[in-house]
Amino acid sequence: MLEIKNLHASVGGKEILRGINMSVNPGEVHAIMGPNGAGKSTLSNVLAGREGYEVTQGEVIYKGENLLELEPEERAQRGVFLAFQYPVEIPGVSNIYLLKAALNAVRKYQGLEEVDAIDFLNLVRDRMKLVKMDEQFLHRNVNEGFSGGEKKRNEILQMAVLEPALAILDETDSGLDIDALRVVAEGVNALRAEDRSIVMITHYQRLLDHIVPDFVHVLSEGRIVKSGDKELAKELEKSGYSWVHDAPEGQTA
């Protein structure tokens, strides 16, 4: 599904990612953990194609294609989805309009017709239940006046409607209280599928109590310094991130 090889990237001349290697197979859930400033959001932005990030070395192969050569929309149309750490508010664009436009963009790439109005409404209603969102949110502008938790749920709603092959969730748990966390986690769990890979970026272990990953990676100073299974996350919780700076490069558990 996704193969990241020796990825180096810099922002404003400063190298942030310093040789990331990672391989994600269909159906797997990977967690990337790491302290603030480690480069987690940088990695997700590079994968989604945000401007301003310069890839200086390495490559990213997604479903056999060179992902880094594609425009952001081409990546999205091919099934790459980024749930943003800080979802933006978009005045004047209603949630339902966004969902429909996004879904139709994917369908167009897949050679399908625009979604039928009634099918679409049924789909959206169904997916809203998954994240326990009230229908009134459909007619509100994207994220405008939403609470932190509502914004995060809205990201998961978009994921649920678009059914991506690869979802990258950037700190979808941050800023959520325990109930909201549970709702979001249940939503994500319901979207786990054999042909869908999920990369969860988080600072805390608590999300991983709800969405149990197949693999855990520790990112520090732009490198993956340790990889393991879910037990690694528990270790991290006990000992914090202070040790990661001392860990030998590329060590695996």
Partner 1 sequence: MKQLTEITTPFGEVAAAKPLPGTELGWLQQLRDQAKAQFERHGLPAKKVEDWKYTSLWQLSQEGFSHDANEVSLGKTELAHVAALEDAYRFVIIDGRLNAVLSEIDNLEAGLSIKPLAEALDQAENMLGDQIDLEKPGLNAINTMLMHDGLALHVEAGQKISKPIELLVISTAENPKLASHLRNLIQVDADAEVTLLEHYVSLAETAGFTDVVTEVKLAENARLNHFKLQHESLAHYHIATLASKQAAGSIWNTNNISLGGKLARNDIHSQLLGEEAHVTLDGLYLVTGDQHVDNHTRIDHAAPNTTSDEVYKGVLDGNSHAVFNGKVNVHKDAQKTDSSQSNKNLLLSRSCEIDTKPELEIYADDVKCAHGSTVGQIDEQHLFFLRARGLDETAARSLLTYAFAVDVLQRIKSAPMRQALSNVIEKRLPKGA
Query: What residues line the site for Mg ion (CB under 5 A)?
Result: 40-41, 85
Three-class DSSP category at 39: coil
Provide CB contacts within 8 A for 79, sequence distance 6+: 63, 106, 164, 165, 166
Q: Per the structure block, which two tokens stand in for 220?
A: 């520090």
Site for partner 1, residues 147 to 206, rule: CB under 8 A: 158, 162
Pick from 71, 119, 134, 194: which binds partner 1 (CB under 8 A)?
71
Q: Strand ranges (DSSP E) for 12-152? A: 14-24, 29-33, 53-62, 65-66, 80-83, 90-94, 141-142
Site for ligand ADP, residues 1 to 60, rule: CB under 6 A: 11-12, 14, 16, 34, 36-42, 52
> Which one-letter amino acid corresponds to residue 230?
K
Pick from 12, 13, 88, 117: which binds partner 1 (CB under 8 A)?
88
CA distance 43 to 75: 15
CA distance 67 to 4: 10
79 binds ligand ADP (CB under 6 A): no
Hey, how many other C-beta atoms are within 10 angstroms of the C-beta on 193? 12
Q: How far is the CB of 198 from partner 1 (least distance, A)?
A: 17
Contact segment (CB under 8 A) with partner 1 among 15-23, 48-56, 58-66, 172-180 equals 48-56
Residues of this chain that bind ligand ADP (CB under 6 A) = 11-12, 14, 16, 34, 36-42, 52
Residues of this chain that bind partner 1 (CB under 8 A) = 48-51, 71-73, 75-77, 82, 84, 87-88, 90-93, 97-98, 100-102, 104-106, 109, 158, 162
